[in-house]
């Protein structure tokens, strides 16, 4: 076995090559010398910057050889491929639950161990994964690195940007298996499905009336408070009781041109 020549004095980890050793040291120093020239976000490793740039370029170099779906990262492709293979080689010794990749397995184990190794240096809140910590830090920094190319609105999360972009594209990828109605958000589909199941998990504390969704409860709550909050279209001044109703209406005015929403 090849001897590991480079040893970290802070945590006793050892490395075979000096570049790997230098990359590791930045976990202790916090140094991030690699900066994106588009959004100025910085990274500790050049490989991280290279992956990040695909957010801006839209590049998806990793393609599934079964269904041709493409991904920005190899790890995401590997997770996707388990849909076709059904393979789950990482098995939890506590509950026998199995996972397709090691990262999901390690995150799951924290449920049993209670370990949250990634800690925010500002508010001391701890997380099971580094990506969750990075996302949380934006609360403190105000950073919004994900920008819509149509209306230039920015977001803290890529998932929020993808959700927002459906305002412009009209895409509704979430379809009800019962009635085939489609929705732009998974949360809207879940709320809709309760029409079929009869589930009403949101309960009014005043009169004990139950509702399928939070929006229904909020609307009902105004009966007790007397509040009449409305959302107004800035083009025609039409008023709506729900924000998403107003946004859906707004597409009448923005069809065929960049949205200002």
- pTM value is 0.42
DSSP 42-92: EESSHHHHHHHHHHHH----EE-TTT--EESSHHHHHHHHHHHH----EE-
pLDDT at 199: 92
Residue 259 pLDDT:
39
Q: Which tokens is 224 given?
A: 């007790």
Say if residue 179's pLDDT is above 90. yes
- 40: how many CB neighbours lie within 10 A of its CB? 9
Domain-embedded: residue 76 = no
In a domain? residue 193: yes
Helix (H, G, I), strand (E, B) or coil at 239: strand
Tell me: the pLDDT tens digits for 92-126? 888 888 887 777 777 787 777 777 777 888 887 88
Q: Are strands 90-91 and 70-71 parallel, antiparallel or unpaired?
A: unpaired
pLDDT on residue 155: 86
In a domain, 185, yes or no: yes
- Residue owning tokens 């480079």: 6
**What are the tens digits of pLDDT across the range 9-55?**
878 788 888 888 888 888 888 888 889 888 888 888 888 888 888 88
99 and 87 Cβ atoms separated by less than 8 Å:
no
Q: Is 248 contained in some domain?
A: yes
Tens-place pLDDT, residues 118-146: 788 888 788 877 778 888 888 888 888 88
Assess whether pLDDT exceeds 50 at residue 60. yes
- Find the domain containing 183 and state its range: 172-253
d(CA 208, CA 220): 11
User: How many folded domains does the chain comprise?
Assistant: 1
Classify residue 221: in a domain, yes or no. Answer: yes
In a domain, 37, yes or no: no
CATH number at residue 228: 3.30.160.60
């Amino acid at each position: 076995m090849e001897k590991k020549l480079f040893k970290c004095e802070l945590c006793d980890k050892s490395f075979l090559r000096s570049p790997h050793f230098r990359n590791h040291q930045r976990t202790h120093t916090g140094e991030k010398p690699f900066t994106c020239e588009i959004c100025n976000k910085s990274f500790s490793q050049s490989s991280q910057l290279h992956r990040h740039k695909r957010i801006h370029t839209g590049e998806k170099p990793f393609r599934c050889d079964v269904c041709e779906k493409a991904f920005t990262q190899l790890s995401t492709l590997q997770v996707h491929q388990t849909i076709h293979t059904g393979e789950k080689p990482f098995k939890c010794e506590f509950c026998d639950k199995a996972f397709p990749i090691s990262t999901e397995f390690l995150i799951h184990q924290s449920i049993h161990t209670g370990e949250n190794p990634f800690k925010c240096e500002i508010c001391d809140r701890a997380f099971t994964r580094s990506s969750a910590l990075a996302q949380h830090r934006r609360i403190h920094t105000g950073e919004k690195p994900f920008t819509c190319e149509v209306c230039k609105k920015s977001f803290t999360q890529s998932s929020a940007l993808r959700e927002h972009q459906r305002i412009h594209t009209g895409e509704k990828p979430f379809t009800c298996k019962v009635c085939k109605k489609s929705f732009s958000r998974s949360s809207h589909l879940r709320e809709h499905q309760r029409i079929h199941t009869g589930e009403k998990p949101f309960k009014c504390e005043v009169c004990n009336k139950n509702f399928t969704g939070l929006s229904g409860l909020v609307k009902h709550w105004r009966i007790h408070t007397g509040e009449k909050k409305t959302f107004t279209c800035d083009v025609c001044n039409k008023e709506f009781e729900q924000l998403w109703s107003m946004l859906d209406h707004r597409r009448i005015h923005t069809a065929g041109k960049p949205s200002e929403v």
